């Protein structure tokens, strides 16, 4: 496997809903603070990619990255993996997918 290619596991909206419901995942929203403030998935925590520090991520829960449409979440995965963290999952559709499906927003 190419070391520069991160291992990326795409999760869909149902995976996210299930994980948030049973408390098994911590959804980390890597959009910028103004985007997060304008609306986010209930239960998500804000860790903006522009000031992203993988070492600040909490331990003990399955971390899943989310952004607007699945691009920045993959960048966050690359940063986390480069820092030696075993994080591989992101919400492929991101916030746009969540909103377009009529899911609740905070």
- Mean pLDDT, consecutive 10-residue stretches, the chain (106 aa), reads 72 98 97 98 97 91 96 96 96 98 98
- For 17-54, give the DSSP string: HHHHHHT-EEEEE-S-HHHHHH---TT-EE--GGG--G
pLDDT for position 60: 85
What global pTM score does this model have?
0.93
* Residue position matching structure tokens 């994980």: 19
Residues carrying an active site annotation:
67
pLDDT for position 1: 45
Does the domain at residues 9-100 carry the CATH identifier 3.40.630.10? no
Question: DSSP secondary-structure letter at 51?
Answer: G
């Amino acid at each position: 496997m190419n070391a520069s290619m991160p291992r990326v596991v795409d999760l869909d909206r149902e995976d996210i809903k299930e994980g948030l419901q049973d408390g098994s995942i911590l959804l980390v929203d890597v959009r910028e603070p103004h985007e997060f403030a304008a609306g986010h998935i209930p239960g998500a925590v804000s860790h903006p990619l522009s000031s992203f520090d993988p070492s600040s991520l909490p331990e003990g829960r399955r971390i899943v990255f989310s952004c607007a449409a699945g691009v920045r979440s993959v960048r966050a995965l690359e940063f986390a993996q480069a820092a030696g963290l075993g994080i591989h999952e992101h919400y492929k559709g991101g916030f746009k997918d969540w909103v377009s499906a009529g899911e609740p927003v905070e």
